[in-house]
């Protein structure tokens, strides 16, 4: 029987199959984390270290392994250390273990260690208080309660404010006690092989996303179908519709899913099975001799969302030209969007196509930040992703541009993606290497050309 870890609790909130992978999948199938994920991890570590420094006295002792570290944790507790950081906690009786971010001494109740006890603080560099953060903290709270013979009423999750400062959220354990205990029961059932989660590709993430897709294909899992998200799977699976083949033949009705939605899912399953995308509803898009296709690149910079590139593909009849509006520093962001707005204004009648809601959100935010009028542009914008979700049965598992666009013939230089663009921009800020910025611009151009390809495909298909 494997010990249950905080990582398993974190993964369970995202994908039970990832817990199964951690326990049973061949270790060679585990992926290396991407540069973007590693950068997020580094950011998290840096934030934890910065937060630890905010305490006047902090106790941490190096340890050889978790068992050795736990002995040293208990020694620190016996000594009444004020703040204990990065030390192991183990509940051998229930098979739980992990390394707690921060344990804070409180004198409001006694414990087995003296006239004081410890309270858990889980530190996260994210700006939102997420469910997975809370359950991880509840996991450590459960262990510390058993270790010290007293379970405090509260634990804390510390997140990062937009200005980079810490924000401590006080959370009542009673609200999450049932959930964390249910989560531990499920993990134990997976470990005992009493429950084998389906390889749901809509949930899996690094480092098991590739293996999850491999197993999903082997199982013909229904999650491979676009539009068959978790909100649909909770009705499909209990109805016995667990594979692509079954969904492609479904007659209905299926409780919880409207007949029109079920028919759309059926057509998506057929498209995936046959490897051929098709229209399921007529598409009507604006007609114009000039068309504009746009795509933003942005990232969090010091806790604030910033845009560093707007790419525009200008198509006038049969001629195309790509224009990159770049902010090499955050100070240039205002000039970038003003120049881009001036360019877009030169084509007052041209429809502006984008893929996903990010572009519209970014334009609104930038217009507010720099006191610009975005209404003339917002009125002309069409989100092709929403058009696709409504009108297309794709041969791919998702409507993401990288998936659907590639299926239509689009290509990206050097296999770039949005996360890698952010990593390169962060590196560019340090090195000012023009080659890095050019890679970002090339990637952005590939995105807008893929968007144009999707638009052309939509208007050339027949229902």
Determine the Cα–Cα distance for residues 239 and 251; give it in Å rounded to an integer: 12
* Residue 303 confidence (pLDDT): 61
* Residue 244 confidence (pLDDT): 98
Determine the Cα–Cα distance for residues 2 and 422; give it in Å rounded to an integer: 37
Determine the Cα–Cα distance for residues 299 and 292; give it in Å rounded to an integer: 23
**All residues at 6 or more sequence positions from 218 whose CB lies less than 8 Å from its CB, including other chains:** none
Determine the Cα–Cα distance for residues 225 and 257; give it in Å rounded to an integer: 15
Map tokens 């049973």 to a residue.
24
**All residues at 6 or more sequence positions from 166 whose CB lies less than 8 Å from its CB, including other chains:** 47, 51, 54, 123, 158, 159, 160
- Which residues does the chain have with pLDDT short of 50? none
Give helix 16-24 / helix 209-219 axis angle, nearest 10°: 100
Q: Convert the pLDDT of each residue in 146-205 to its tens digit.
A: 999 999 999 999 999 877 889 999 999 999 999 999 999 999 999 999 999 999 999 999
Residue 243 near residue 220, CB atoms below 8 Å: yes
Residue 160 near residue 121, CB atoms below 8 Å: no
DSSP H or E segment with residue 262 = helix 259-274
Backbone angles phi, psi at 148, to 5 degrees: -100, 0
Burial of 381 (0-12, 13-18, 19+ CB in 10 A): middle
- Please list the helix, strand and coil fractions of the chain in percent, rounded to the nearest 5, in that order: 50, 20, 30
Residue 242 near residue 351, CB atoms below 8 Å: no
Determine the Cα–Cα distance for residues 316 and 288; give it in Å rounded to an integer: 9
Determine the Cα–Cα distance for residues 18 and 221; give it in Å rounded to an integer: 15
Determine the Cα–Cα distance for residues 220 and 201; give it in Å rounded to an integer: 11
Assess if CATH 3.30.420.10 describes domain 290-460: yes
Residue 42 near residue 49, CB atoms below 8 Å: no
What are the distances in angstroms from CA 448 to CA 148, 211, 364, 405?
Answer: 58, 30, 20, 11
Determine the Cα–Cα distance for residues 161 and 143; give it in Å rounded to an integer: 28
Q: Would you state the structure tokens that stand for residue 414, as one six-digit string?
A: 């050097």
**Cα torsion through 163, 168, 174, 177, rounded to 10:** 70
Determine the Cα–Cα distance for residues 228 and 397; give it in Å rounded to an integer: 9
CA 300 distance to own-chain centroid: 14
* Residue 37 confidence (pLDDT): 87
* Residue 205 confidence (pLDDT): 92
Residue 396 near residue 272, CB atoms below 8 Å: yes
CA 25 distance to own-chain centroid: 23
Residue 279 near residue 463, CB atoms below 8 Å: yes
Backbone angles phi, psi at 436, to 5 degrees: -65, -45
Q: Would you state the structure tokens that stand for residue 84, as one six-digit string?
A: 């204990």
Kindly calculate the radius of gyration of the chain based on its CA atoms and give it in whole angstroms.
26
Number of residues written out for the chain: 463
One CATH from 3.30.60, 3.40.50, 3.90.320, 1.25.40 for 4-15+41-191: 3.90.320
* Residue 189 confidence (pLDDT): 96
∠370-374-379 over CA atoms, to 5°? 165
Q: 304: which strand partners?
A: 301
Q: Would you state the structure tokens that stand for residue 172, as one six-digit string?
A: 């009542």
Residue 245 near residue 266, CB atoms below 8 Å: no
């Amino acid at each position: 029987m494997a010990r249950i870890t905080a990582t398993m609790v974190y993964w369970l909130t995202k994908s039970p199959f990832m817990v199964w992978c951690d326990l049973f999948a061949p270790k060679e199938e585990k992926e290396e984390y991407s540069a973007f994920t590693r950068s997020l991890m580094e950011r998290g570590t840096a934030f934890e270290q910065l937060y630890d420094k905010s305490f006047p006295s902090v106790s941490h002792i190096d340890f050889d392994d978790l068992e050795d570290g736990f002995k040293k944790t208990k020694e620190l507790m016996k000594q009444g250390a004020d703040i204990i950081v990065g030390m192991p906690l183990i509940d051998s009786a229930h098979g739980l273990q992990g390394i707690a971010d921060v344990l804070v001494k409180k004198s409001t109740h006694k414990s087995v260690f003296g006239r004081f006890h410890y309270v858990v603080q889980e530190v996260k560099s994210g700006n939102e208080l997420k469910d997975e953060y809370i359950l991880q903290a509840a996991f450590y709270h459960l262990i510390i309660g058993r270790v010290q013979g007293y379970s405090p009423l509260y634990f804390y999750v510390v997140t990062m404010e937009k200005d980079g400062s810490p924000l401590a959220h006080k959370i009542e354990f009673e609200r999450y006690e049932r959930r964390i205990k249910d989560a531990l029961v499920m993990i134990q059932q997976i470990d005992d092989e009493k429950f084998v989660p389906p390889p749901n590709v809509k949930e899996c993430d690094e480092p098991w996303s590739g293996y999850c897709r491999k197993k999903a294909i082997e199982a013909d899992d229904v999650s491979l179908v676009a539009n068959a998200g978790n909100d649909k799977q909770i009705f499909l699976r209990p109805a016995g519709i667990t594979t692509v083949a079954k969904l492609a033949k479904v007659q209905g009705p299926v409780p919880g899913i409207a007949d029109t939605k079920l028919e759309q899912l059926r057509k998506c399953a057929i498209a995936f099975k046959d490897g051929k995308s098709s229209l399921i509803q007529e598409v009507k898009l604006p007609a114009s001799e000039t068309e504009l296709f746009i795509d933003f690149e942005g990232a969090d910079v010091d806790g604030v969302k910033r845009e560093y590139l707007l790419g525009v593909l200008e198509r006038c009849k049969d001629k195309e030209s790509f224009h990159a509006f770049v902010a090499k520093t955050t100070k240039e962001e205002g000039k970038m969007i003003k120049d881009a707005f001036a360019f877009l204004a030169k084509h007052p009648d041209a429809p502006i196509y984008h893929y996903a809601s990010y572009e519209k959100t970014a334009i609104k935010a930038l217009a507010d930040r720099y006191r610009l009028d975005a209404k003339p542009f917002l009125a002309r914008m069409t989100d092709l992703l929403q058009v696709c979700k409504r009108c297309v049965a794709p041969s791919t598992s998702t409507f993401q541009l990288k998936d659907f666009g590639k299926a239509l013939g689009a290509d990206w230089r050097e296999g770039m993606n949005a996360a890698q663009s952010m990593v390169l921009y962060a590196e560019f800020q340090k090195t000012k290497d023009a080659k890095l910025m050019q890679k970002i611009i090339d990637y952005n151009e590939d995105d807008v050309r893929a968007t144009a390809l999707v638009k052309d495909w939509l208007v050339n298909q027949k229902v």
